[in-house]
Amino acid sequence: MPPTLFGFRACLAAALAMVFAAGCKTTPPPDPNDPAQVGMVQPDVLMRNLRWASEALNQRVAKGEIPDARAQIMLSEYAADLTKHIELSRITEDLAWEYAEVFRTARQWENARIVLEIALRNPKQEDRRVNDTLRYAQVLAQLDRVPDAIAAARRVFDAAPKDRAPLIPSLIFELTPAAKDKGFNSELATLVEDAIPLYESTVVDPESEAGKTFLAAKPHLVREAKRIVSELRRKSSGPPNG
């Protein structure tokens, strides 16, 4: 039976009371769609509420009210409440990536895997294929399927230069933390190392805001990627657990 609107709002209110404790004044987003009418909460509603909660928590971190690590836990707990209103059997290919983001935020890795596999059946745009495949790789690593994760990430190394921007950020900030020190550091290092020249060859519009942001960040991200490669190589050549 789909949840009632009252039930959803009660859950939302309880979760947000936790998020906005200590006097946060952020204005809430519009009320969610009525689940009694739509069968389950639509992904744009879930994503809007996640963004709202994330922004509010970021404000609290900036004010020194809570540490960043606590904010991440609180956001995951809030996302977990939202996942109660997702029916896996009713997710369609075109909306799957958005539902997957809620499951990833909630750190519900098995459900995220299932939904990303739905999203990747027939991606409509190349940027969706690239982004969702890299997120799928992270999820597999979180499930301790590191060789599968590395193989999945390599599947987007064929992306055209205009679609390569997510490569290094995803590999160093999402896949590597999930995959490192699980027995495949050498293979992980090679993956990141091979991705660096592909990322460096990304083509962007230097006059656009996105292009300017990419070009400003690129040298820093490449430097960090090379540092991570060196660290993974050192660990892979050292004693076990070293």
HSE-CB for 71 with a 13 A CA cutoff:
18
User: What is the reported pLDDT for 239?
Assistant: 59
Convert the pLDDT of each residue in 150-174 to its tens digit.
Answer: 999 999 999 999 999 999 999 999 9
Task: Tell me how far apart the alpha carbons of residues 29 and 32 are, in angstroms, rounded to a whole number.
Answer: 8
By C-alpha distance, which of 231, 236, 239, 201 is closest to 218?
A: 201
Convert the pLDDT of each residue in 101-147 to its tens digit.
Answer: 999 999 999 999 999 999 999 998 999 999 999 999 999 999 999 99
HSE-CB for 53 with a 13 A CA cutoff:
29
Task: Tell me how far apart the alpha carbons of residues 188 and 240 are, in angstroms, rounded to a whole number.
Answer: 16
Maximum Cα interatomic distance, the chain, rounded to a whole number of Å:
59
User: What is the reported pLDDT for 237?
Assistant: 80
The DSSP 8-state label assigned to residue 32 in this structure reads P
Average pLDDT, the chain: 86
User: What is the reported pLDDT for 174?
Assistant: 97
Task: Tell me how far apart the alpha carbons of residues 96 and 81 are, in angstroms, rounded to a whole number.
Answer: 18
pLDDT band for 240, please (50, 70, 90 cuts): low
Amino acid letter for position 220 = H
Task: Tell me how far apart the alpha carbons of residues 218 and 224 are, in angstroms, rounded to a whole number.
Answer: 10
Q: 44: which 2 tokens? A: 């744009």
The DSSP 8-state label assigned to residue 31 in this structure reads P
* Mean pLDDT computed over 197-208: 97
Give SS3 for 5: helix
- Looking at per-residue pLDDT, the higher value among 218 and 241 belongs to 218
